[in-house]
Structure 1
Amino acid sequence: MRALRYYEKAGLVMPTRLPNGYREYDPVAVRQVERIRELTSLGLSVAQTRPFVECLAEGHDSGDECPSSLAAYRRAIADLDERMARLARCRDGLARHLEAAAGRAVPSAATRSRQGAAGSVRRRSPSGDGSRISRLVGSRMPAVRLPATDGSSVDLRTLGPGRTVFYVYPLTGRPGVDLPEGWESIPGAQGCTAEACGFRDHHDELREAGAARVFGLSTQAEDYQRELVGRLRLPFAMLADPGLDMCVGLGLPTFDAGGTTMYERLTMIVYDGVVEHVFYPVSSPDRHARQVLDWLRDGRSRGR
């Protein structure tokens, strides 16, 4: 009854007043009220239902047969599109702030003793062991199959002709998920998201310079990396190696932090299944994709 009075006050439904003061609603009014309730359940305001109510009052079988009703549909959809776009921009902005804040945040214990946090890191292959890294050059890729974020699985032994860029990294932060304690004090740990964005932004140039494929690889699980691909809009697939199969097959350097074993940051250029070049250490993750691009272009100019 309260809703009917509201519709009447808004001038949408007009009952007939009987001598005894009662209101009498004709059959069209019943259909008008049903239409108002249906449209408001879809998100329209009561005021926005007026064209549909008037269309019924004019004798049409359906309230959306009139041009004014169709125009009202279009306006409502356009308004929703604008609101959704605005909300998406707000959501993306908040996610960026959250990710940046999570990357800066260090638990108070780690803040009080950075040296102790860094001391909890155990390297299985010291960064200074350049000879071990140099021995990777000329190695054939192992017969390892890893899941990719595009739903496929990649056999590292049969990548196909041409060059493949594998950039290997420890882990990427995720909005709302804490990083390992003392993460920012671990040498070379930070910058994974910036590195991924660099390979994203230079992806087309890398392909033009001779990279047939680009993959990112870490020990993080496939679903974790799939979220990263969607959030950063990466044009290439990420490979998940939680079992450290690449470490076993090639002896890639790793370190332990927060009870988890991760890869140290490096990039391999693989040509026809053989490691052709290794970038290690990677001192500037945010500029590393450009470094790889320059190497590819230099090699192409030499006729490689």
Structure 2
Amino acid sequence: MRIGELARRAGVTTKAARYYESLGLLTPGRLANGYRDYDEHDVRLAREIRALSGLGIPVERTRPFLDCLAVGHRHADDCPASLAGYRQAIDELSQRIAGLTARRTALIAQLQEAAHRNSRVSPVPPADEGAHPMSDVPMNDYLSLPADLPVPEDDGATAHLPGTKLPPLELRTTGDTTVRLDALGPGRTVLYVYPLTGRPGTDLPEGWDTIPGARGCTPEACGFRDHYQELLDAGAVRVFGLSSQDTDYQREVVERLHLPFDMLSDPTRSLARALDLPTFEVSGLTLYKRLTLLLRDGVIEHVFYPVFPPNEHAAQVLTWLRDAPH
């Protein structure tokens, strides 16, 4: 058969078949006109080379397997030389894995150092050698969002809020002051309420990414940071984030992300009780559902709920402020 037929039946390219022949792995006969003539044995060899290459064994090192077939064995790895070829490939992979693991550990350490450079919280040491090599990847990657993140539905839980007066609640800020919500003063305040920010080296609650509206607190905070001056230019007098996390935890986030505004801590969820705000349960925690309140002169003027996607939400608030009457 011609080389094109061989390539088709063996599942390789004609270029690959020519390469196999150049290494002496295929030795076709010659027709009277000088054309190469491949047979069923060549097809078998080409298939074997392709399969071994898929396992990571270089084409150049497949000869012991092909020789095993040539002497009549049913399988190419029935011979001791073939088993030695497997072991060599495994040893090389182990060395590569060890090298990659060392590089990955160094990268994790660099990430931790960079993430906590301006924080009062000490970095968490990289996982030890006994840890699963991928065990801490998700907990370190809070700035990106999965493509299949579930979209929260509007369950009507905030329909009663527009026009509601703010309660006389006093909450602690990350700036070591307190803020009384009904006494914020004139002008608009952006108060975005979020469930829980992640921290490098700290696990999120189990199943976090599967809860609609849960994932994305850090990208949301970064969005308000990046649009902060634009929000003020568009008419906001102040911006706050609010969650049920304690002030020290929030302060680490403010410092690490270089947020130009304070967070408000509401560990007892007093605002949720006063305004009947939506919450959810996960891993024994009761957390706020993500929403944003536009406050003006002691009254809730507008509510964003549900919020999605969180990384674009600050831009959504900015658009609303620019279009709202002043």
After TM superposition, the structure 1 = structure 2 runs for residues 18-97 of structure 1, keeping only pairs within 5 Å, are 91-92=113-114
Q: Tell me what 1:215 maps to.
A: 240
Quote the offset at 1:88 in angstroms.
Answer: 8.6
Judging by fraction of residues, say which structure has more helix.
1
1:139 paired with 2:164, answer yes
Counterpart in the other structure of 1:254: 279
- 1:39-77 per-residue CA deviation (whole Å, 9 max, x = no partner) reads xxxxxxxxxxxxxxxxxxxxxxxxxxxxxxxxxxxxxxx
State the alpha-carbon separation in 1 of the partners of residues 278 and 180 from structure 2. Answer: 21
Give distance in 2, aligned partners of 1:183 and 1:222.
22
1:102 maps to 139
Please list every run of 5 or more consecutive structure 1 residues that lacks an aligned counterpart in the other structure.
Answer: 1-86, 106-117, 119-125
CA contact (8 A) 2:116 2:256 kept: no
Which residue in 1 is equivalent to 2:314? 289
- Partner SS, residue 184 of structure 1: helix
Aligned partners of 1:88, 1:152: CA distance in 2, in Å? 34
For residues 170 and 89 of structure 1, the distance between their equivalents in structure 2, rounded to whole angstroms, comes to 24
Equivalent residue in structure 2 for 1:192, among 191, 195, 217 = 217
Question: What pairs up with 1:207-286 in 2 under 5 angstroms?
Answer: 207-286=232-311
Structure 2 match to 1:173:
198
How many angstroms does 1:184 deviate by? 1.1
CA deviations over 1:122-176 (Å, ceiling 9, x no partner): xxxx95431x412100000111000000000000010010000000011000111
Checking the alignment, whether the CA contact within 8 Å between 2:154 and 2:305 is kept in structure 1 is no
Relative distance call for 1:221 and 1:138 in structure 2 (3 A) is same
8 Å CA contact 1:103–1:179 kept in 2: the answer is no
CA distance in 1: counterparts of 2:209 and 2:141, whole angstroms: 7
Match in the other structure for 2:155: 129
Change (3 A) 1:93 1:219: closer
Q: Is the 8 A contact 2:154 2:306 kept in 1?
A: no
- Give the Å deviation of 1:199: 0.1
CA distance in 2, matches of 1:230, 1:260: 25
Alignment-derived partner of residue 181 in structure 2: 156
* CA positional deviation for 1:198: 0.2
Contact 1:104–1:184 at 8 Å: present in 2 too? no
Aligned residue for 1:287, secondary structure, equals helix
Where does residue 40 of structure 1 map in the other structure? Answer: none
Q: How large is the RMSD of aligned CA atoms in angstroms?
A: 2.7
More contact order relative to length (CA 8 Å, sep ≥ 6): 1
Question: For each residue in 1:103-136, what CA deviation from the matched residue of structure 2 results, as whole angstroms up to 9, or x when unmatched?
Answer: 669xxxxxxxxxxxx9xxxxxxx95431x41210
Matched pairs, number: 195
Secondary structure of the residue aligned to 1:235 is: coil
**Counterpart selection for 2:229 from 182, 204, 207:** 204
Partner of 2:63: none
**Separation (CA, whole Å) in 1 of partners of 2:137 and 2:177:** 31
Deviation string, structure 1 residues 200-245 (Cα, Å, up to 9, x no partner): 0000000011100100000111100000000000000000001001
Task: Determine helix, strand or coil for the equivalent of 1:133.
Answer: coil
Per the alignment, do residues 166 and 100 of structure 1 end up closer, same or farther by CA in structure 2, a change over 3 Å counting? farther
User: Structure 2: how far apart are the matches of 1:269 and 1:180?
Assistant: 29
- After TM superposition, the score normalised by the length of structure 2 is 0.56
SS in 1 for 2:158: helix
Contact kept, 8 Å, 1:210 with 1:296, in 2: the verdict is: yes
Aligned residues of 2:140 and 2:201 also touching (Cα < 8 A): no
